[in-house]
């Protein structure tokens, strides 16, 4: 028998050590709000560095076309630099620019939006809408806190309780968070100690938190059944703080409330300008910043300007955040959502608010929608609020539906710019756009744009 051929994988060349610290002049911001500098002609993206600053930084990654780093000393500070509140800001991925004054943050985000529209769609915005801003701390009403128990080098185990590090799946251990709503933020030390005290902590993977106008909730994801002693510890915490307690032993459908024992498993938020109260489950998608959300909904309705006899379409409608306010103004509104549970939540919210001129449908908006009954009629106005991937697949249908005006709410300026170019090719002209500070201290750029059909 002939000997079997032997295969040898080529040896990988050893990774070159990263250079030591270097100094650089920061020229501008990247679209993820890192400082951009050049060292020996090569671009370096530097965390915690602001445009106009001279910094000393350490390299964190070397790539073929650019390098990455983190500032260790600010040799010449920007006038817009401020002292961050959070001691974890250098490592925690929750905040990218707490060292930049809030007014400068939103101004930078507006420049990013305008640059993306000009660069990728060739569009200059005729009318720049004033930014929507609110209190930059204590605003976040939804968050996911990771829980890991790891082995120490010298033996024993260590609990890590916090958010992901910058550009990493590793967790940063936290003792405080200044962007999280106080209803939960003030409980971080106690929650951390509670997890540490539990016998089954090694099976805990995350803690989902949600805060409504009426109450706060935590959802504990645990991979093994919760023991009686641990269950008693969590129930004591809930009864003492008034925070609703849910356990989630499997996927989202397994989440169930164990305190309080009575009442519907819902939190609520109000849109007072429209005399609406919306109910949501703690694991539902909602806008995390209620103060900005209320301004955003008001602006979207004003810009879309639906009239009493008109039909309005709300695509990617979620649980009715825009749909129900629009129904207060329009003759009829159709909301379409890809997730069936959210669509049902929209129906429940419509019924709970006494609205009978709105209907909700489930549909995959990345696929052909022409077979759906709701898509066979025309619409006077359309609102889009897509995920980060944008709304590219559904855009050609908007022309067929005949809407005179489109309001596009975006959480990603790159896909908004791409889609704005597509809408221009379909006969829609961008008339105004502006940013919203939905996520202060982060690199997330939320925006809104208005498109008019060209006669």
What single string gives the DSSP state of each residue in 183-231?
HHHTTHHHHHHHHHH-TTGGGEEEEEEEE-SS-EEEEEEESSPPPHHHH
Our answer to whether residue 411 is catalytic in this structure is yes
- Catalytic annotation, pick one of 92, 177, 198, 411: 411
How many CB atoms are closer than 10 A to CB 157?
Answer: 10
Estimate to the nearest angstrom the gap between the alpha carbon of 236 and the chain centroid: 32
Question: For residue 114, what are the β-bridge partners?
Answer: none
Cα 205 from Cα 7, distance rounded (Å):
41
Give kind and range of the element (H or E) at residue 170. none
Task: Please report, to the nearest 10 degrees, the dihedral formed by the alpha carbons of residues 389, 391, 392, 396 taken in order.
Answer: 170
- Residue (of 313, 337, 341, 316) closest to 326 by Cα position: 313
What single string gives the DSSP state of each residue in 89-151?
TTTBTT-S-TTB-HHHHHHHHHHHHHHHHHHHH----SEEPPPB---SSS-B-EEEEEEEEEE
Task: Please report, to the nearest 10 degrees, the dihedral formed by the alpha carbons of residues 359, 361, 367, 369 taken in order.
Answer: -50
Cα 57 from Cα 36, distance rounded (Å):
12
The residues that are catalytic are: 411
């Amino acid at each position: 028998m002939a000997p079997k051929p032997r295969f040898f994988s080529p040896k990988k060349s050893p990774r070159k050590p990263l250079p030591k610290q270097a100094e650089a002049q920061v020229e501008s911001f990247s679209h993820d709000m890192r400082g951009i500098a050049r060292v020996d002609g090569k671009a370096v993206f530097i965390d915690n560095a602001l445009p106009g600053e001279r910094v000393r930084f350490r390299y964190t990654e070397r790539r073929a076309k650019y390098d990455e780093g983190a500032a260790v000393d600010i040799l010449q500070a920007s006038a817009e630099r401020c002292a961050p509140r959070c001691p974890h800001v250098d490592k925690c991925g929750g905040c990218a620019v707490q060292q930049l004054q809030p007014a400068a943050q939103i101004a930078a985000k507006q420049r990013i939006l305008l640059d993306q529209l000009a660069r990728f769609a060739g569009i200059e915005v005729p009318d720049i809408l004033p930014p929507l801003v609110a209190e930059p701390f204590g605003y976040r009403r939804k968050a996911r806190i990771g829980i890991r128990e790891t082995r120490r080098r010298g033996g024993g185990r260590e609990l890590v309780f916090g958010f992901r590090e910058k550009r990493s799946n590793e967790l940063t251990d936290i003792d405080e968070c200044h962007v999280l709503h106080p209803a939960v933020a003030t409980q971080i030390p106690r929650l951390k100690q509670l997890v540490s005290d539990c016998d089954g902590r090694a099976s805990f993977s995350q803690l989902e938190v949600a805060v409504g106008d009426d109450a706060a909730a935590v959802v504990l994801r645990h991979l093994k059944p919760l023991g009686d002693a641990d269950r008693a510890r969590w129930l004591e915490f809930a009864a003492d703080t008034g925070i609703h307690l849910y356990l989630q032993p499997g996927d989202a459908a397994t989440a169930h409330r164990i305190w309080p024992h009575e009442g519907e498993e819902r939190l609520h938020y109000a849109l007072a300008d429209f005399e609406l109260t919306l109910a949501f489950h703690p694991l539902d998608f909602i806008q995390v910043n209620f103060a900005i959300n209320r301004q955003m909904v008001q602006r979207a309705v004003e810009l879309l300007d639906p009239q009493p006899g008109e039909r309005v379409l709300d695509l990617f409608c979620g649980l009715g955040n825009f749909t129900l306010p629009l129904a207060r103004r329009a003759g009829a509104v159709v909301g379409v959502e890809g997730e069936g549970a959210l669509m049902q939540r929209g129906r429940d919210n419509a019924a709970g608010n006494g609205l009978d001129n709105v209907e909700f449908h489930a549909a995959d908006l990345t696929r052909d929608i022409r077979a759906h009954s709701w898509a066979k009629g025309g619409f006077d106005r359309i609102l889009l609020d897509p995920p980060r991937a944008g709304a590219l697949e559904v855009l050609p249908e908007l022309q067929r539906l005949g809407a005179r005006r489109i309001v596009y709410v975006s959480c990603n300026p790159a896909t908004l710019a791409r889609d704005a170019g597509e809408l221009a090719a379909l006969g829609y002209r961008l008339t105004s756009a502006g940013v919203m500070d939905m996520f202060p201290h982060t690199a997330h750029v939320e925006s809104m744009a208005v498109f008019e059909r060209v006669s």
